[in-house]
Amino acid sequence: MDFTKEELKNYIKEYQKRSKEAYSRSRAMRVDPKERAKYHREYLDAQAMIRNINYKMTKDTWLYDDLPNGHFVKHFRVLASGDPNRVGKLVDAFGREYDVPRK
């Protein structure tokens, strides 16, 4: 799943907004401590996603296993392919091959 630079920039803006809202709610004293903890986790998740997107934009690879649209990078084994060299290899959602022997 490839994202354009514009899509990634839009996701950064969205996660910055989420981060700001979650941080302000996590600091509010009128909120129940359990709710504040939930908002603090949301804030940390948004910050991690911003880091992940910035890393993708600079290094052209993902830092963490989750994508901005909520999907996770899943690994699967190629069972059938037009390229016989790929059959049986472990591949992630981005098409990168992993050198993991099959047991």
Instruction: Give the C-alpha separation, 82 to 58, whole Å.
Output: 32
Whether 49 and 65 have beta carbons less than 8 Å apart is answered as: no
pTM: 0.64
Structure tokens at 88: 């049986």
The alpha carbon dihedral of 62, 67, 72, 75 has a sign of: negative
Q: What is the pLDDT of residue 30?
A: 92
Q: What is the pLDDT of residue 83?
A: 78
Q: What is the pLDDT of residue 90?
A: 72
**DSSP notation for 50-86:** HHHHHHHHHHSS-SSSB-TTS-B--EEE--S-SSTTT
Q: What is the pLDDT of residue 36?
A: 93
What tens-digit pLDDT sequence spans the chain (103 residues)?
678 899 999 999 999 999 999 999 999 999 899 999 999 999 988 898 899 889 889 988 877 766 676 666 666 677 777 778 877 777 765 566 766 555 5
Fill in the amino acid letter for 10.
Answer: N
Q: What is the pLDDT of residue 17?
A: 96
